[in-house]
Each structure stands twice: as C-alpha cells, then as structure tokens.
Structure 1
Amino acid sequence: MAEEVRPPRVFGFTGTSGSGKTTLVEQVIPRLIARGWKVSLIKHAHHGFDLDTPGKDSYRHRQAGCGEVMVTCGSRWALMHELREEAEPTLAQHLARFAPCDLVLVEGFKQEAIPKIEVYRAANGKAPLYPENHHIVAVATDSPVHTALPVLDVNDAEAVAAFVMDYFKHPQR
C-alpha cells in the first residue's frame, strides 16, 4: 500500500517592504532544517521578475511563445511558466506543485488565511499589519509593540524557528 502523502505545514512571514522578512527567513531556514524538517519556500513578488537572462536559450524559447520552459542540469532544475493571459494562481494552487516536505514557508501573500509572523520595524515609519490582519500569530520586531500576540526578537532567529515549530504542536493559537 502506498504511503499517505499529507499536505505540508504552511507558515508565512509578512511585513512591509524593507522590514527584513527575507533576512529573517534566510536565518530561520537552516535552524528548521537542523531540527530535521524538510523545508520549501514560496515568495510572492509584487512586480514582474525574470530568472532568465535575455539572450540565453531558455529565455529565447519563452519569448518565442512556449508556455513552460524547463532548465535542468546535474545539480538543479527550474520550470518557468508563462501566465500570458491566465489569472495569477492562488497560493493553494502553487502549494500543490511542491514536492513532499514538512513545511512550506511563505513570504508575502499578506491576506492569505495562513498563520504568519509579521516582521515589524518601527524605524521604517510604516504602520504594523497585525492590528488588522487576524492571520498574524506573532510579531518579530526590534522595537516595543502593544499587542496581546507573542512578541519575538527579530534578531533571534533561533527563537523564531522554535516558535514556528511549537506553533504546529499547538495550532489552535
């Protein structure tokens, strides 16, 4: 009988531009892996992006009209899918494309109904998201905040990783 494939845990990091989301996630990932979790990540970009280099074969094939172009070698592969006139896929549709793993970290997708940590820095001069976003379960910050949510030191990636793992022991938060 085939082994049951369960959906991965999904946990997000959100915050305004320049808050340090990517830096924090980059520091949390190896700590989760060190605890034995297989981790993947999806990052939502608000602007167009391109992984291809203009003039390279895969770029030229995409520009010629291919809906998907896969680039592969002995150490990695990447699949580029052009949406053309299609609607942007939902987070759930993207998650369904991942290989099995223990945890998918999500950077961005502010309004998705997934548990997330807000990375907040008062020095950015932007309002926090946690008062209005009820999917935020903790705030990682370097400044005092007034909230009933758990407050984590944004500079303590070990504590943030421990919080993420603990969250899945007690997901009713």
Structure 2
Amino acid sequence: MIEQMKQTQFIGIVGHKKSGKTTLVELLAREMTDRGLLVGTIKMTTHDLEFDSLGKDTYRHRIAGSRLTLIKSKKQVAIFSDLAYFDDEQIRLIFQKCDFVFIEGDSISQNPKIYVVDKREPRADIAGEIIAIWGIQQNQSDMPHFDKEQIKELCDFLVNKYQNRR
C-alpha cells in the first residue's frame, strides 16, 4: 500500500469533447483507489445547468436566501451553492482528505494537466502546465506520453511526481 500523501494534488484532465476524458478519469480513479489512495473528482461544464430542482426542499432553502445548502442522506452528501459564494479555496477544503483530485474539463486553472489526445488538432486554449499526454501519439515530443492501455504506468508517473514533493 502506498503511504498517504501529505497534501491533495489537483490534476486537470483536458482535451476535445468526446476525446476520452471521462474514461481517463474513471480509469485513474479506479487504479489509484486500488492502490489505497483517496481520490476525488470534479466535472467542469460549460453548460448553464441547474443541479437543484424547483419545488425540492433544498431549492426552497436556496430561494429563501441560503448561500450554501447541503443535503445529507444515509449514503451521500450533495452541496448546492452559487458560484460567487463557493470559491476555489472552499473546493480545496472539501477535498483536503484526498490524495488526488482529477478535474475533468479544467482548461482554465493553473493546475497541472493531462492532455487526452485523439485525431484532432491539439487545443490551444489550455492554461497551466501539461505534464503528460494520454492517447494517440501524434508526434514525437519530450512530453511523457501514455497509450490508452498504460493506466498503471500513468498512475506510477503521477505518484512518483507528486507523492514526495511536498
């Protein structure tokens, strides 16, 4: 079993729509969990979605003025908040017990990133450092590259890069 990491490492998973980002998040989460590490995930979306439903108690709480509403059952917890109230620091606090947090679609933060490549031209609008490439290798580069079957190797790379860096 791997020793617990000292601090949570946030890693963005970026690439084109339908390139395999969700698949990579699933594979990383499963492999890291099998190694005894605690994993969290975040899904970023550009869609203007409402996660709470009209008429539900939590919706009524928020309409009444609650800035942060949490619903807790015997098995799960969900938090509803306006983005203006819930900043990146609060998100980091929620995930503080995790070793790794994989953020699908995180193209704008300065978090390190894994770029999921497919046959399309690479995106140019990615902020932060790309630390590895996963998927179809399009050209030779010094960037660490992992084929789609190399999940164990990608996890080894991430653990070696971040476990003892703190």
TM bin, normalised by shorter chain, reads: 0.7 to 0.9
Deviations 1:89-147 (A, max 9, x none): 34x4421332422222222222322221100111xx3x214797560011111243332
Amino acid at match of 1:89: D
* Equivalent-residue separation in structure 1 for 2:86 and 2:70 (angstroms): 19
The CA deviation at 1:81 is 0.9
* Equivalent-residue separation in structure 2 for 1:61 and 1:132 (angstroms): 37
Structure-2 residue corresponding to 1:115: 112
Matched position secondary structure for 2:108 = coil
Matched position secondary structure for 1:94 = helix
The CA deviation at 1:37 is 0.5
* Equivalent-residue separation in structure 1 for 2:126 and 2:80 (angstroms): 35
After the TM superposition, which segments of 4 or more aligned residues of structure 1 sit over 6 Å from their partners?
A: none
Mark the runs of 5 or more structure 2 residues left unpaired by the alignment.
none
- Contact 1:8 1:104 (C-alpha < 8 Å) held by counterparts: yes
Amino acid at match of 1:110: S
* Equivalent-residue separation in structure 1 for 2:64 and 2:126 (angstroms): 44
TM-score (norm 1): 0.77
**Aligned residue among 157, 160, 164 for 1:166:** 160
Structure-2 residue corresponding to 1:58: 58
Over 3 Å counting, the alpha-carbon distance change for 1:131 and 1:154 in structure 2 is farther
Matched position secondary structure for 1:96 = helix
Number of positions where the alignment pairs a residue of Structure 1 with one of Structure 2? 161
Over 3 Å counting, the alpha-carbon distance change for 1:150 and 1:55 in structure 2 is same
- Contact 1:118 1:130 (C-alpha < 8 Å) held by counterparts: no
Identity %: 28
Structural RMSD (CA): 2.8
* Equivalent-residue separation in structure 2 for 1:157 and 1:23 (angstroms): 11
- Contact 2:14 2:104 (C-alpha < 8 Å) held by counterparts: yes
Matched position secondary structure for 1:32 = helix
Structure-2 residue corresponding to 1:43: 43
Q: How does 1:139-150 map to 2 (within 5 A)?
A: 139-150=133-144
The CA deviation at 1:33 is 0.8
